[in-house]
Amino acid sequence: DAGVIQSPRHEVTEMGQEVTLRCKPISGHDYLFWYRQTMMRGLELLIYFNNNVPIDDSGMPEDRFSAKMPNASFSTLKIQPSEPRDSAVYFCASSFTGGTEAFFGQGTRLTVV
């Protein structure tokens, strides 16, 4: 397996624009996580899914953020409208049930100007 795949790797957008980040988890993994990393706050969990169902979205900062997982091999994180304070690196990770290792993608570096 190629690991967790995220796209795009880099995204620069203007304030107010819609941004969509994409993630393909490792095949067979039933948990998918979205994290955000900033210098000030470190790694924060935004939302996670189990079998495509959102389990905990308490980390989603505002209604401007939404995430979907339409099937076991694809998830999106959308920000609409984007703001400069959303600039961060967004990571997707996946794992099996039962406290197994979580594997991370390479991240999407988002810059909102």
CA 29 to chain centroid: 15
Cβ 81 to another protein shortest distance, Å: 27
Among 7, 17, 27, 50, binds another protein (CB under 8 A): 50
Does the footprint of another protein cover residue 55 (CB under 8 A)?
yes
> How far apart, in whole angstroms, are the C-alpha atoms of residue 24 and residue 3?
9
Cβ 4 to another protein shortest distance, Å: 8
The structure tokens listed for 65 are 């953020």
Q: Which 3 state secondary structure label does DSSP give 59?
A: coil
Question: Between residue 71 and residue 100, which ones bind another protein under the rule CB under 8 A?
Answer: 91, 93, 95, 97, 99-100
